[in-house]
Amino acid sequence: DAGVIQSPRHEVTEMGQEVTLRCKPISGHDYLFWYRQTMMRGLELLIYFNNNVPIDDSGMPEDRFSAKMPNASFSTLKIQPSEPRDSAVYFCASSLGGEAFFGQGTRLTVV
């Protein structure tokens, strides 16, 4: 398996623009997680899905953030409108309920 695949790897956007991050989990994994990593706050859990259903979105910082998982092989994290404080590395991870396997991350810069 190719592992968790995220796109794009890097994203630079202007404040106010919509940003969509994409994730393909490992085939067969039934949990999908979105994390955000910054120097100040470390690796924070934003939201996670089980069998495509959102289970806990309490980590989503604001209504500007939304996530979907339309099928078992694809998920998106959308920020609309984006702000400079959203600049971070966003990781997607998947698991079977134990060890989480991480994608390579998307480095988002909002200017």
Residues that bind other proteins (CB under 8 A): 31, 33, 35, 41-43, 45, 48, 50, 55-56, 91, 95, 97-105
Residue placing its CB nearer to other proteins in the complex, 34 or 86: 34
Which is nearest to 58 in space by CA: 69, 47, 72, 68?
47
Residue placing its CB nearer to other proteins in the complex, 59 or 81: 59
Closest approach of other proteins to the CB of residue 102, in Å = 4
Question: CB count, 10 Å around CB of 90?
Answer: 22
Q: Name the β-bridge partners of 90.
A: 36, 106
Cβ–Cβ < 8 Å for 69, 32: yes
Residue placing its CB nearer to other proteins in the complex, 35 or 65: 35
Closest approach of other proteins to the CB of residue 45, in Å = 5
DSSP secondary structure code for residue 4 in this structure:
-
Closest approach of other proteins to the CB of residue 23, in Å = 12
Q: Compute the Cα dihedral for 25, 52, 29, 32 and give only its sign.
A: positive
Closest approach of other proteins to the CB of residue 33, in Å = 6
